[in-house]
Structure 1
Amino acid sequence: MNLHFSLRQLQVFLAVAHHHNVSRAAQALAMSQSACSSALKDLENQYNLQLFDRVGKRLRPNELGERLRPQAEALLAQAEAFEQSLSQQPGAGKLRIGATLTIGNYLAVSLLNQYLQESPGSDVHLAVANTAQITEALLNFDIDVGLIEGEVHHPALLVQRWRPDELVCFCAPDHPFAERPSLSDDELLAARWILRETGSGTRQSFDRAMHGLLPQLDILLELQHTEAIKRAVEAGLGISCLSRISLADAFKRGSLVPLETPHRDLRRDLYIALHRQKYQGAGLQRWLAICNESVAAQCP
């Protein structure tokens, strides 16, 4: 079979789809703008088709381009894996991981350590953002896998439960609520809250748990980082609600105090998310295995 496209043309197609701009795509591929533009034009002309629509100064994949993009991503990933095998380079190749803040700050490091011990020389990148941003990165093929706290429902994504988690309300040791055995709905409404931002998985779980109260809550601050929220609560600005994973050390030190809310279900799951058409090379497969093994190791 004679192929009428080259891997370089696929690289250009994917880079333009990612950057929405030929100039930035050329820069990312270390090509001249004219060479990048010619490669894309040749690919379209060879098959007498158009892969992009021009929207202002931006190039966006049209319906055909979006349909072909996952296949091109998979082909290029397989080619890179094949090249690595030919060159017999150490490591498991490139792996781009996205993790939401709680997972990225409190769980991912130990998993990364195990992965790199098993596959030294691997090229691994970890991006930490909220659930909405990780979802967008998966859909745009900016990352290979996402570890997320929020529930995501998108037909292009495969989302599987990874491990259980629980949110906990908490306050400073000198807060008036600190000595109370549990909080009623009236006390939750009387409190000032410092919460994660909309779009985060933690906020999604909190909003669901506080159904019926949410519109009346006194939300003083919405912050993007768990550590900033903990510092604000320690300073007495209000109470909050975060993953127990992120609060374990503070509870041990006594710098923060857990608050019982037995009438509010703060349980949730953490998830692993993948694009359904993502090629799962050896590196990604091993990463998924490490994530699942970490859960199995916690079971008695």
Structure 2
Amino acid sequence: MTIRHLKIFITVYDQKNMTAAANKLFITQPSVSQAIKELEAQYEVVLFERLSRKLYATALGEKLYQYATHIIKLVDDMEDNLREKSFKKKLFIGANYTVGSVLIHKYIKKFQGLYPDSEIKVIINKSSILKEMLRKNELDLALIEEMTHTSDLVQDVFYDDHIVIVSDPEHHLFAKETVTAHDIVNEHLLLREKGAGVRDLFESKMSQLGLFINPYWESTSTTALINAAENKIGIAVLPFQLVEDHIASDSLKELKVKDMNLSRKLAIVYHKNKFLTDAIQDFIKVCHKL
């Protein structure tokens, strides 16, 4: 097996077609086919299955793809550094909406104080997408909510956070002495889309109480949900960091719900096979210190 084999394999995986992979690599289709056959013969495995004129990776193919992307990225980094092309520290960081809106700028500013010529690319998205990007080695690390049941990703908790339920201060539930989850389940719930960490946590807590939620609004935009709550459309479930100023200005009020703990932790997450450069390790230290 050579680096060339891995690069061809990755391209076939991405293109799901050997001819398309050959065109992308500017080599012949038989050369691509031969490289895949050599990999399969070396390890005595099947890496792809053909369905409807497309190639789909087998379970072993998926496993090889995770290793291959990390190996190629490591080799590219090594060659750049040895040729002194990467004197600048480069980081590719993912952040969920809470970190991306409130925290990430502080970490970048501190890091750039250590490395003035550093280049940091930030992708802000929901955690489910960022985790897939980590698996494909498209990110060095991601700052997202704490995970469960992930054997291929490593997490390092760095921040205590919590979710709040908010509405306009005149909402009728504020008249109740005690508000329970049963009181809010049939209200107009304003929620983030499925796959967002705040939505997943809220759904999980409600499910533990035997309650099924039916959102009145779903949105990828926190701003849209805040505006809807302020305009008396319903109850929003959002990270405290993103509504703190609205609560302080009395345009929103937190609704305390009995026996519902919506605290969570934020974590620095990276792939278990990721080589942690000095720059990555220093960025992790910055996150812990601030």
- The aligned amino acid for 2:87 is P
Partner residue in 1 for 2:35: 43
One-letter amino acid matched to 2:89: A
> CA-to-partner distance for each residue in 1:97-119, whole Å, 9 max, x for gaps?
22222222222222223333433
How many angstroms does 1:46 deviate by? 4.7
1:279 to 261, 275, 280: 275
Letter in 2 for 1:199: G
After superposition, the CA RMSD in angstroms is 2.9
Choose the corresponding residue for 2:133, options 124, 131, 137: 137
2:149 maps to what in 1? 153
Q: Give the Å deviation of 1:73.
A: 2.8
C-alpha deviation, 1:54, in angstroms? 2.8
Q: 2:21, 2:115 → 1: CA distance?
A: 30
- TM-score, normalization by structure 1: 0.80
Tell me: CA distance 1:189–1:62, structure 2 relative to 1, closer, same or farther (3 Å): closer
Asked if 1:289 is matched to 2:281, the reply is: no
The residue number in structure 1 matching 2:249 is 253
Separation (CA, whole Å) in 1 of partners of 2:17 and 2:117: 32
User: Is it true that 1:192 corresponds to 2:188 in the alignment?
Assistant: yes
Corresponding residue for residue 209 of structure 2 = 212
Matched pairs, number: 284
How far apart, in 2, do the equivalents of 1:82 and 1:293 lie? Answer: 29
Q: Which residue pairs with 1:15 in the alignment?
A: 11
Deviations 1:126-172, CA, capped at 9 Å, x for gaps: 22222222222223333232222263413222234332211111111
Which ranges in structure 1 are unaligned for 5 or more consecutive residues? 295-300
How has the CA–CA distance of structure 1 residues 92 and 10 changed in structure 2, closer, same or farther, with 3 Å as cutoff?
A: farther
1:76 to partner: Cα distance: 2.1
TM-score by length of 2: 0.82
Report the CA distance between 1:191 and its aligned residue.
2.7
Shift in alpha-carbon separation, 1:39–1:79, aligned structure 2, 3 A: farther
State percent identity of aligned pairs. 24
Displacement of 1:185 after TM fit?
Answer: 4.1
1:67-86 equivalences under 5 Å are 67-86=63-82
The runs of 5 or more residues in structure 2 that have no matched partner are none
Which letter maps to 1:162? F
Q: Which amino acid counterpart does residue 282 of structure 1 have in structure 2?
A: D
Deviation of 1:10 after TM superposition, in Å, equals: 3.0
**Matched residue SS, 1:219:** coil
1:66 CA drift (Å): 3.0
Within the candidate set 195, 201, 208, 2:197 is matched to 201
Aligned partner of residue 50 in structure 2, secondary structure: strand
For 1:72, the aligned partner's letter is A
Contact persistence 2:8–2:35 (CA under 8 A) = no
Q: 2:189 touches 2:235 (CA, 8 Å); kept in 1?
A: yes
How far apart are residue 197 of structure 1 and its match?
A: 1.9
